[in-house]
Amino acid sequence: MELKKNLPAIFEDFADARQAAFLKAKALKDQNVPLIGIFCTYFPQELAMAMGASIVGLCATSDETIPEAEMDLPRNLCPLIKSSYGFGKTDKCPFFYFSDLVVGETTCDGKKKMYEYLGEFKPVHVMQLPSDQGEASLALWKSEIIRMKEALEAQFGVTITEEDIRGAIALKNDERRALKHLYGLMKQDPAPVLGQDLFKVLLGSTFEFDRSVLPGNLTAIAEKIQSEYEAGTAVDKRPRILITGCPVGGATEKVIKAIEDNGGVAVAFENCNGTKAVEELVDEDNPDVYDALARKYLNIGCSVMSPNPNRLKMLDTMIDDYAVDGVVEMVLTACHTYGVEARSIKRFVNEKKNKPYITIETDYSSADIGQLNTRLAAFIEML
């Protein structure tokens, strides 16, 4: 199936966003703007925004540095962890190179142990993320957010006021609203664009360092897509797929491509880079900014939480809202939390939502593309 070509400029701009961001990161360094490298959506970005720092995601998505990482780390570790560590070790990633501080969280076992070694190359601050979402964990997470703020103040010699944080919350909420509006266009049937094109925009948006322009840019893209849609340029009618599981991006975009090359359309992404950390806003009316941040971020429904009811709640709503025909879960090799949780997701999707479900286990190589095509073609065929 040929890609839809009606919005080339927009999508190519965002495909090039990562490349352009390398140059922007260098320019920021020349202007002495702090750059904070992050690994996870549990990091409350508002803290860095409040001090005028830029933020860049460091989760690596290619297998280029895995051999180097395997000299220090076990081979049977998740590719995301090995690849990220490898880019840190080899200095092959400009974002890692330019980051003044790297922030990690105690999410999965592999990641949190990897940060201990990463600290040998860069200043690393690890936030102690609790593994459930009860009141005691909320209190702990709030204190961790305050400790994070104090670490930023100490390292960069700044004062972060509550007013600064409130301003950052408002800005970040605007970004979330714009993202929700943009990806929400895929609720329309037929879908206005292919999922792989939408995904480029979602991923590209994370490389915009100037967060003040992001909501406007995203809204302009959404308006352009919608006006083209109303002029009749929709994707042809296809089975509608929701993608859930580990973070998708880079090498693993092969899964989206395999879905769409075999007759489906990826209308919804529940993963990080999709809706997982975007749907819920920070409560701007909460007089305690730290409590507001703690509540929003601790609620993220990642499989590192046990139990993890918020992932099911989000899937429940999304399957209905996006009129989903089938669910594809992508699990990275050796990701135990998503791997184990896959059983309860399958049960929920099959039994509570009466929808077909498939787990795809993959890594950052291209060796399984043929197998991916075969399995996803068979899955889509039966929808």
**66 vs 185, beta carbon nearer ligand BJ8:** 66
Measured distance CA(230)–CA(227) in Å, rounded: 5
Which of residues 304, 318, 319, 372 is near ligand BJ8 by CB under 6 A? 304
Least Å distance, CB 41 to ligand BJ8, is 5
**256 vs 300, beta carbon nearer ligand BJ8:** 300
* Interactions with ligand BJ8, residue window 326-345 (CB under 6 A): 332, 335, 337-338
Least Å distance, CB 205 to ligand BJ8, is 16
Measured distance CA(27)–CA(21) in Å, rounded: 10
Q: What SS3 class is residue 267?
A: strand
Q: What is the DSSP letter of 195?
A: H
Structure tokens at 201: 């925009």
Beta bridge partners of 359: 329
Measured distance CA(98)–CA(110) in Å, rounded: 24
For ligand BJ8, which stretch binds (CB under 6 A), given 248-256, 258-266, 296-304, 309-317? 296-304
Which of residues 145, 246, 265, 360 is near ligand BJ8 by CB under 6 A? 246
Q: Let me know: does 309 contact 341? Beta carbons within 8 Å.
A: no
Which of residues 17, 40, 69, 124 is near ligand BJ8 by CB under 6 A? 40
Least Å distance, CB 234 to ligand BJ8, is 31
Q: Cβ neighbours of residue 283 under 8 Å, at least 6 residues apart?
A: 292, 295, 296
Residues 257-286 vs ligand BJ8: string with x where CB under 6 A?
---------------x--------------
Query: What are the start-end ranges of the E strands in the chain?
Result: 35-38, 54-57, 101-105, 124-127, 240-245, 265-269, 326-332, 357-362
CA angle 105, 87, 41 (to 5 degrees): 30
Measured distance CA(337)–CA(272) in Å, rounded: 15
Least Å distance, CB 378 to ligand BJ8, is 25
Which of residues 266, 298, 302, 342 is near ligand BJ8 by CB under 6 A? 302
Q: Cβ neighbours of residue 212 under 8 Å, at least 6 residues apart?
A: 171
Structure tokens at 107: 């999410």
For ligand BJ8, which stretch binds (CB under 6 A), given 75-83, 167-175, 197-205, 351-359? 75-83
**238 vs 276, beta carbon nearer ligand BJ8:** 276
**113 vs 187, beta carbon nearer ligand BJ8:** 113
* Interactions with ligand BJ8, residue window 99-118 (CB under 6 A): 107-108, 110-111
Which of residues 10, 25, 35, 42 is near ligand BJ8 by CB under 6 A? 42
Beta bridge partners of 54: 35
Least Å distance, CB 273 to ligand BJ8, is 9
**113 vs 224, beta carbon nearer ligand BJ8:** 113
* Interactions with ligand BJ8, residue window 76-95 (CB under 6 A): 78, 80-81
Please work out the total of residues on this chain that contact ligand BJ8, with binding judged by CB under 6 A. 20
36 binds ligand BJ8 per the rule CB under 6 A: no
Helix axis angle, 195-205 to 17-30, nearest 10°: 0
- Residue 144's alpha-carbon distances to 42, 47, 141, 292, in angstroms, are 11, 12, 5, 13
Structure tokens at 117: 């070694």
Q: Let me know: does 354 contact 346? Beta carbons within 8 Å.
A: no
- Residue 232's alpha-carbon distances to 70, 129, 131, 190, 227, in angstroms, are 50, 47, 47, 11, 9
Where do contacts with ligand BJ8 occur on this chain (CB under 6 A)?
40-42, 78, 80-81, 107-108, 110-111, 246-247, 272, 300, 302, 304, 332, 335, 337-338
